[in-house]
Amino acid sequence: MTAPAIERTASAVASAAPTESAIGIQDLTVRYGSVTALEGLTLEVARGETVALLGPSGSGKSTALKAVAGFLRPASGRITLAGRDVTYEPPNKRGIGVVVQNYALFPHMRVADNVAFGLRARRVSRAEVGRRVTEALDMVGMAGYARRYPRELSGGQQQRVAIARALAIRPPVLLLDEPLSALDATLRADLLGELQRLRGELPDVAIMYVTHDQTEALALADRIAVMRDARLVDLDATDRLYRRPPSEFTASFLGAANLLDARVLADCTAADDAVRVAVGGLTVAADPTGAFAEGARALLVARPHTLAVTEVDRADTLPARLVATQWRGADYRLTCVLEGDGEREIRIDVTDLAAVPALGERLGVALPAEPCVLVPAGAGG
């Protein structure tokens, strides 16, 4: 997350009183027949803020977005836009811009007509429609494509048009549902950069961004709401959630952390800077995310790039055996099994490796000098 994004979050949050949040979701439950797709979601998005709903497939993210858009009716709960209750209002009365995964452009309409669609439905004057279409296409770098048909565009270009169409009505709220997932890796990276730039041009728009891809959430969101099994698991500012994930699930879903079994050696609370824990044969300082009792089992969160490998049997390292090596261009990813820790695999990303160790070789795994975050074992995992 970049520094400007952090500043923007602070100002967005400061300028929005809770009742005036651009999007308010209170205790929202949605069912499809007997399936509860979303259970008791409460979430607010401030003006100018981007909140990502991040979670595995089927966790209820799209359902939340569709409820805000007005595409489905909740079983219970309330949705407000700028303080106005819209829970049972039809989508076209909500004034929201929506972008979905597979573009959903009208195939028989030219680009300009696709972008103009929402404006004409609102009976905006012809001259104003022309101005707004040009403005919206300019914003997504598609000014030269107004007369093309969707089939004459690449997937990335079609998605830019879909974004322009959503922006043309100048909505205070923009909902994006996996907007990059139909694109190949290069286009996805391009359009992600484009969305970051666009975010800067829309300082007052509240954005709800549904994704299963942590890269997109980390790049775009001021806050991330982690979803699992129809429920909100954790919600916090993006950098804080990455640096101090409060649960096993969020630690492993956001940033692919290693989770090392640890035993807490003294009572502690989240307010403590550090607590001693036993990990393998080592005693190290950890950063507690909650209260732990002496003797409790917990998990130490260690990101792959913060671990290092050394020669085996050094006093301050955990003995391990190498089971896989993957060269990834910028670094090596070593997969090891810690000795005495069952079959739990840990991943270590190293950039400077004098010699690639052989598979089966014993190594020492060094923990980072900074205390690792400590999360409860099993809760949310």
Residue 62 binding ligand ADP, by CB under 6 A: yes
User: Which of 24, 48, 55, 74 is close enough to bind ligand ADP by CB under 6 A?
Assistant: 55
Of 260, 228, 226, the closest CA to residue 246 belongs to: 226
In the complex, least distance from residue 38 CB atom to ligand ADP, rounded to whole angstroms: 7
Residue 28 binding ligand ADP, by CB under 6 A: no
CA distance 36 to 73: 13
In the complex, least distance from residue 254 CB atom to ligand ADP, rounded to whole angstroms: 15
Taking CA atoms, 27 is separated from 33, 41, 80, 335, in Å, by 19, 5, 12, 42
Residue 58 binding ligand ADP, by CB under 6 A: yes
Stretch that binds ligand ADP, among 29-37, 123-131, 252-260, 284-292 (CB under 6 A): 29-37
CA distance 136 to 145: 12
Stretch that binds ligand ADP, among 55-63, 190-198, 264-272, 331-339 (CB under 6 A): 55-63
Would you tell me how many other CB atoms lie within 10 Å of the CB of residue 175? 26
The amino acid at residue 304 is: P
Name the H helices within 140-234. 155-168, 185-201, 214-220
Would you tell me how many other CB atoms lie within 10 Å of the CB of residue 197? 12
Of 326, 338, 345, the closest CA to residue 363 belongs to: 338
Residue 34 binding ligand ADP, by CB under 6 A: no
Identity of the residue, 59 or 258, whose beta carbon is nearer to ligand ADP in the bound complex: 59
Identity of the residue, 154 or 215, whose beta carbon is nearer to ligand ADP in the bound complex: 215
Q: Cβ contacts of residue 14 below 8 Å, gap of 6+? A: none
In the complex, least distance from residue 74 CB atom to ligand ADP, rounded to whole angstroms: 13
Number of residues assigned to the chain: 381
Number of residues that bind ligand ADP (CB under 6 A): 11
CA 331 to chain centre: 24
Stretch that binds ligand ADP, among 51-59, 189-197, 252-260, 331-339 (CB under 6 A): 51-59
Sign, Cα dihedral of 74, 79, 81, 85: positive
Of 27, 31, 57, the closest CA to residue 43 belongs to: 27
Residue 224 binding ligand ADP, by CB under 6 A: no
Radius of gyration of the CA atoms of the chain, in A: 24
Residue 223 binding ligand ADP, by CB under 6 A: no
Stretch that binds ligand ADP, among 54-62, 242-250, 265-273, 334-342 (CB under 6 A): 54-62
Q: Which of residues 164-183 bind ligand ADP (CB under 6 A)?
A: none
Residue 32 binding ligand ADP, by CB under 6 A: yes
Identity of the residue, 37 or 105, whose beta carbon is nearer to ligand ADP in the bound complex: 37
Residues forming the site for ligand ADP (CB under 6 A) = 32, 35, 37, 55, 57-63
